[in-house]
Amino acid sequence: MKRWLRPLLLVLLLALAIIAPLGQGNYIVYTLTSWLIFSIAAMGLNLTLGYAGQISLAQASFMAIGAYTTALLTLAGWHWVLAMPLGLILCFAVGLLLGYPALRVKGHFLAFVTLAFNTLVFLILRNEEWLTGGSYGLVGMPRPDFGLFSTMKQLPFYYFTLGITVIASLVMWGIVRSPWGRAFKALRENPVRAESLGVDTRRITLLAFAIGSVYGGLAGALITPLVQFIEPGSFGVGHSLRILLMVVVGGAGYFFGPFLGAGVVIMLPEMLRFTAGYYLIIYSALVIVMLVFVPSGLIGIGGRLREKFRPRREVRADMREGARLQ
Amino acid sequence: MSQLLQVLLSGLATGSIYALVAIGFTLVWQAAQTVNFAQGEFVMLPAFFVLVAMGYFGLPFLPALLVGLVLSVLVLGVLFKKLIAEPILPHGGITLIIATMALGIFLKESVKEFYSAEAQPFPSMFPNDPIDIFGAVVSLQDLFNLAISLGVVVLLTLFLNRTRTGRCMQATAQNPAVAEILGVDVKRMILYTFLINAALAALASFLITPVYLAKFSNGETLGLIAFIAAIVGGFNQIRGALVGGLLIGVLDNLTATYVTAQYRAALPLVLLIVIIMLRPQGLMGTSEGRSV
Amino acid sequence: MSAPVLSVRNIEKSFGGIQAVRGVSFDVHKGEILGLIGPNGSGKSTLFNCILGQLAPDAGEVHVTGRNVSKMRASDLNKLGVGRTFQQLSVFPKMTVLDNIILAGQEHHGTMLSRLFGPSDAGLTQQAEQLISFFRLTHLRDTLAGSLSYGQQKLVDAAMALMAGPSLVLLDEPAGGVNLTMLANLKERLVTYNAEHGTTFVVIEHNMEFVMSLCTRIIVLAEGHIIAEGKPEEIRANQTVIDAYLGG
């Protein structure tokens, strides 16, 4: 891609995100807002899974931690701006904790541990009624008010969320471009080699979980004022799978994959709405078909096409003949 | 005392059905590195095959069971392998995990939309009369379930250890490359594993559905419990999955009766985390088998 | 004479009832290229893994520049100035050649936090490019390492081991699977690097010609013992070694 093309594309996308909700009904603005929020959650999981290669089926539980912390504190009279960071810190700490199993087990086992963790969080939310309101959940959380800029209406809240999304994306961009990002990828591709080159793989693994979880928490902190009603059912294993799906559908390990994935996973049901009850059936079938034919995600399609049309750099013939004995 | 015995026996009965599901899960995982997140739905579905055969085609119960079994083996065994596991496995384990999750949703929603969202009664193969054992009241159905499940596990073990095909299947699971060199038809053995898994799931379905009623969402808890049973027991052997299944069934009943009904579902999860962290090879497992 | 770069003291290791390494000791001094050879089952791989901390020896100690490194984590050993390669190819396939090389150096600069907030290349691009050009890979700088030929990946692998400017580099069968042209290239580069930087190398290898032409000193292991030690030409003429290789 040309050097100037990428920034131009980004500016265009951002402009589109600013114009998109104008003149739209509340419902569309609401859907766009939840697209942004889930993009943040998926961005976090993309760091853990896509960049660092550690599977987690618990992203929804971090959304829960962020959402409930923000909800309880704002209900107690705190301002959102103060409540949210506390939720993120909590997510960071719990995320570190969840990273420990990843130091011992990989792959499927890690998937099960994180899945079990998500279910445990769900059970606690449901059963500890004194704190979480149990199955009835929490209602009436205020939206943040900044004096001149109140987010009570749907449209201002969208722009508020957009602003946070942009900041979160910039921070993520900084992380994956930094040496940390390189270390995350090295962990994904060959942890033993990475360790032998001085990468502290234990620390990097824990950080991959903790940072990914913080993004889950941030998404939760935004869901609370958006929906103004939270209950354990919104943070079950099914929702973790949904976020995982966003990452994979968009393209794991691609920076913009989560935005695309979240868009597809959130918009598709809306687009399939005319099919009434069948949409989940069609939807799950589409996912399977996609995994069979484009396993690297939708963003991966672009890469594939480009490879097809761009001539490959010729490798020196004398070097290519190196025998592949191993 | 009699209450304890009662709780233990009914726990064993449910646990033995979990074990069937866990064993199938283990077999497929070993032979084809396929972790089937739709395993719970694999147990939910066969009961509906039977209901359709009875309701729409007017078959009597026993022939309908047979039709259900055959359909399960075809759909959950052959089709699952050919259409999903085989094409996606080369893309990596995580992709396959997500695909099987999507499959689970697909099966669940299809049943909900095309059959019913309501729980359906399902006939039992056995009378549900209570009988009295040393003061404990146990349903005859539970005892039959326990006997049949254990019987099937014994038969399966004999098949795997005593027959040529069974030994070829074991060789395939342990080292497909070596098995291939030794002249084992590896592809066929892997197919057999999928078929056995589907048959076990169908059997579990026929045994457990009379207890829980046939409902599209039955798979949600069942699948998770089967994973946990497989891991807790030790993933690399049938014995482990059996012990894991029985253990979870009993523990589940014990906590529900004596400790807390609210956190009943939490106990297997905590057990899972503790086992994975402290003894990743499982209670019965040997460490080498888990290296993959 | 200064302290040896690597000092191996009475290493013993057995598996089950089989003693793979039976009390091996040797020193390696600055600037040497030491070859560690021996027939299959001689215990050289086991010894190598004990030196690198991959295996815990039953007895004995390993010192690097005077520090006991037994039980040290691989990343800490690397930070102490020990680079290594693996028998299997160990590049990061989905990262560019440049990123592979920078990764190999970045953990040696600054703290964890300063790396997060510092420049994205940790200030290492120029140094990495020099190393890439030293291995004559400049035209492949921005290619994904996974799409290189086997021999080219071996070169990247070696470059990664050298990036942090280690005082000691351990090469695990560097010649395995590499064709003759590439092998000559690799050998020539390593010898030049050794002459320019005075870096110490320890090489474990099957390919006798490669070892004989690369190394300044050779240690021969058989059945867990050192059976011979000396310059390449001495080893070539040593009757014990010939017998060991011929199964005498």
Q: For residues A156 and A150, is the Cβ–Cβ distance under 8 A?
A: yes
Number of domains in chain B: 1
Task: Give the residue from B91, B75, B92 showing the smallest Cα distance to B38.
Answer: B75
Instruction: Give the H/E segment covering residue A247.
Output: helix A237-250
- A326/C152 touch (CB, cutoff 8 Å), yes or no: no
Q: Look at residue B292 and tell me whether its pLDDT is greater than 50.
A: no
CA dist., res. B146 & res. B245, Å (int) = 12
Q: How many CA atoms lie within 13 A of B34 on its CB side?
A: 28
The pTM is what?
Answer: 0.88
Q: Which residues, at least 6 apart from B231, have a Cβ–Cβ distance to it below 8 Å?
A: A109, A112, B244, B272, B275, B276, B282
Query: Which residue, among C113, C111, B273, C55, has the nearest Cα to A100 in the 3D structure?
Result: B273
User: Has residue A130 got a pLDDT over 90?
Assistant: yes
Q: What amino acid is encoded at C101 in this protein?
A: I
pLDDT at B255: 87
Q: Which residues contact C222 (CB under 8 A, 6 or more apart)?
A: C38, C39, C42, C244
Report the helix count and the strand count for chain B, using DSSP H and E.
12, 2
- The total domain count for chain A is 1
Q: pLDDT, tens digit, for every residue of B18-56? A: 999 999 998 998 888 888 989 999 999 999 999 999 999
Q: Do C75 and A196 touch (CB under 8 A)?
A: yes
C116: closest chain A residue by CA: A178
Question: What's the DSSP call for residue B258?
Answer: I
Q: How far apart are CA A263 and CA A265, in angstroms?
A: 6
More confident of the two residues C169 and B131: C169
- Cα distance between residue C170 and residue C48, in whole Å: 9
Cβ-based neighbours of A146, under 8 Å, separated by 6 or more: none
Q: Chain A neighbours among C 56-115 (CB < 8 Å)?
A: 73-75, 78-79, 84, 86, 88-95, 99, 102-104, 106-108, 112, 115
Q: Which two tokens stand for residue A244?
A: 């995982």
Confidence of residue A308 (pLDDT cuts 50, 70, 90): low
Give contacts of A112 with chain B, Cβ < 8 Å.
Answer: 227-228, 231, 272, 276
Task: Tell me if chain A has a CB within 8 Å of the CB of B224.
Answer: yes
**A236, part of any domain:** yes
The three-class DSSP label of residue C60 is: strand
- pLDDT cut 70: percent of chain B above it: 96
User: What local confidence, expressed as pLDDT, does residue C190 receive?
Assistant: 95
Are the beta carbons of A188 and A51 closer than 8 angstroms? yes
* Contact between B43 and B222 (Cβ < 8 Å): yes
How many whole angstroms separate alpha carbon B138 and alpha carbon B142?
Answer: 7
Q: Using an 8 Å Cβ cutoff, are A235 and A68 in contact? A: no
pLDDT at A125: 95
Task: Taking residues C90-100, report their average pLDDT.
Answer: 95
- Residue C178 touches chain A, beta carbons under 8 Å: yes
Which candidate in A200, A310, A316, A319 is best for mutational testing of the C interface (most C CBs within 10 A)? A319
DSSP string, C189-218: HHHHHHHHH--EEEEE-S-HHHHHHH-SEE
Chains C and A touch (3+ CB pairs under 8 A): yes
Q: Is the pLDDT of residue A326 over 60?
A: no
For residue B58, the surrounding DSSP H or E stretch is: none
What proportion of chain A, given as a percentage, has pLDDT over 70? Answer: 92
* Pair A86, A68: CB distance under 8 Å: no
Verify whether the Cβ–Cβ distance A111 to B97 is below 8 Å: yes
- Is the pLDDT confidence value at A122 over 90? yes
In the prediction, which pLDDT does A82 show?
96
Query: Is residue A313 pLDDT above 80, yes or no?
Result: no
A111: domain CATH number is 1.10.3470
Of A143-157, A227-241, A303-317, which range is least confident?
A: A303-317
Q: Scanning the structure block, which residue is given the tokens 């482990």?
A: B240
Domain that holds residue B255: 2-290
Radius of gyration of chain A (CA): 21
Instruction: Name the range with the highest mean pLDDT among A199-213, C32-46, C205-219.
Output: A199-213
Nearest residue to A230 (alpha-carbon basis) of A149, A125, A159, A300: A125
Q: Could B84 and A288 be called an inter-chain contact, meaning their C-beta atoms sit closer than 8 Å?
A: yes
**AA letter at C92:** F
Question: Looking at residues C88-115, what average pLDDT do you find?
Answer: 93
B103 vs A contacts (CB less than 8 Å): 284, 288
Which helix (H) or strand (E) covers residue C19, if one does? strand C18-28
**With bands split at pLDDT 50, 70 and 90, how would you rate the model's confidence at A317?**
very low
Whether pLDDT at A13 is above 50: yes
Measured torsion, CA atoms of residues C237, C240, C242, C245, in degrees rounded to the nearest 10? -150
Q: For residues B18 and B12, what is the distance between their CA atoms, to the nearest angstrom?
A: 10
Nearest alpha carbon to residue A154 among A41, A40, A20, A258 = A20
What is the per-residue pLDDT across A146-157, written as a single tens digit (0 to 9) for each? Answer: 888 888 899 999
> Is A12 a member of any domain?
no
CB spacing of C178 vs A322 below 8 angstroms: yes
pLDDT tens digit string along C194-242?
A: 999 999 999 998 888 899 999 999 999 998 999 999 999 999 888 888 8
The C-alpha atoms of residue B24 and residue B18 are separated, in whole angstroms, by 10
Of A27-31, A203-207, C242-246, the least confident: C242-246
DSSP symbols for A127-177:
H-HHHH-GGG-EE-PPPPEETTEE--SHHHHHHHHHHHHHHHHHHHHHHHH
Q: What is the pLDDT of residue B224?
A: 83
- Tell me which amino acid residue C74 is: A
Q: How confident is the model at residue B286 (pLDDT cuts 50, 70, 90)?
A: low
Rounded to a whole number, what is the distance in Å from the CA of A249 to chain C's nearest CA? 20
pLDDT tens, residue by residue, A235-279: 998 899 889 989 988 999 999 999 999 999 888 877 887 777 788
The pLDDT of residue B61: 93
Nearest residue to A243 (alpha-carbon basis) of A91, A102, A80, A34 = A34
* φ/ψ (deg, to 5) at B117: -90, -10
Domain of A233, in residue numbers: 25-298
Q: What is the pLDDT of residue A322?
A: 33
pLDDT at A227: 94
Length of chain B counted residue by residue = 292
Contact C176 A195 (CB under 8 A): no
B262 at A interface, C-beta within 8 A: yes
User: How many other C-beta atoms are found inside a 10 Å radius of the C-beta of residue A93?
Assistant: 14
C-alpha distances out from residue A15 to A11, A264, B29, Å: 6, 20, 48
Give counts: helices (H), strands (E), chain A. 15, 4
pLDDT at B247 over 50: yes
Domain-embedded: residue A1 = no
Indicate the SS3 state at residue B214: strand
Pairwise CB contact (< 8 Å): A323 & C177: yes
C120/A197 CB distance under 8 A: no
Q: From chain A, pick out residues whose CB is under 8 angstroms from the CB of B92.
A: 295
**pLDDT value for C92:** 96
For residue C29, give the amino acid letter: H
The pLDDT score that the predictor gives to residue A306 is 64
Contact flag for C and B (3+ C-beta pairs < 8 Å):
no
* Alpha carbon separation from A96 to A88, A93, A99 (Å, rounded): 12, 5, 5
For the domain spanning C6-246, the CATH number is 3.40.50.300
Both tokens of B50, joined, read 């039977």
Sorted by sequence, the CB contacts under 8 Å of residue C150 that are 6+ apart come out as A322, A323, A324, A326, C89, C177, C178
- Report the pLDDT value the prediction gives residue C247, as an integer from 0 to 100: 65
B93-102 pLDDT tens trace: 778 888 998 9
- Any A CB within 8 A of C19 CB: no
Q: Which residue of B has its CA nearest to A126?
A: B262
Radius of gyration of chain C (CA): 18
**% chain C with pLDDT above 70:** 99
Ranges assigned E (strand) in A212-260: 229-230
> What are the angstrom distances between the C-alpha of A218 and each of A74, A253, C32?
15, 20, 55
What pLDDT does A238 receive? 84
Q: Tokens 């592949």 belong to which residue? A: A324
* CB atoms A199 and C75 under 8 Å: yes
Does chain A touch chain B (at least 3 C-beta pairs within 8 Å)? yes
Chain B, residues 139-198, CB within 8 A of chain A, namely none
Cβ-Cβ pairs closer than 8 A, A with B, add up to 104
User: What tokens appear for A33 in the block?
Assistant: 């807002």
CB of C58 within 8 A of CB of C144? no
Looking at residue A311, the DSSP 8-state letter turns out to be P
- pLDDT number for residue A309: 61
What's the whole-number mean pLDDT along residues C35-60? 89
For residue A178, the distance in angstroms to the closest alpha carbon of chain B comes to: 26
Confirm if A254 and A39 have CB atoms less than 8 A apart: no
CATH at residue B219: 1.10.3470
What are the beta bridge partners of residue A146? A149
Contact between C78 and A180 using a beta-carbon 8 Å cutoff: no
DSSP B29: H
Encode burial over A23-52: b for 16+ CB neighbours within 10 A, e otherwise.
eeeeeebbbbbbbbbbbbbbbbbbbbbbbb
Partner residue opposite C78 with nearest CB, options A190, A198, A322? A198
Note whether residue A77 is domain-resident: yes
Tell me the C-alpha distance between B51 and B46, whole Å.
9
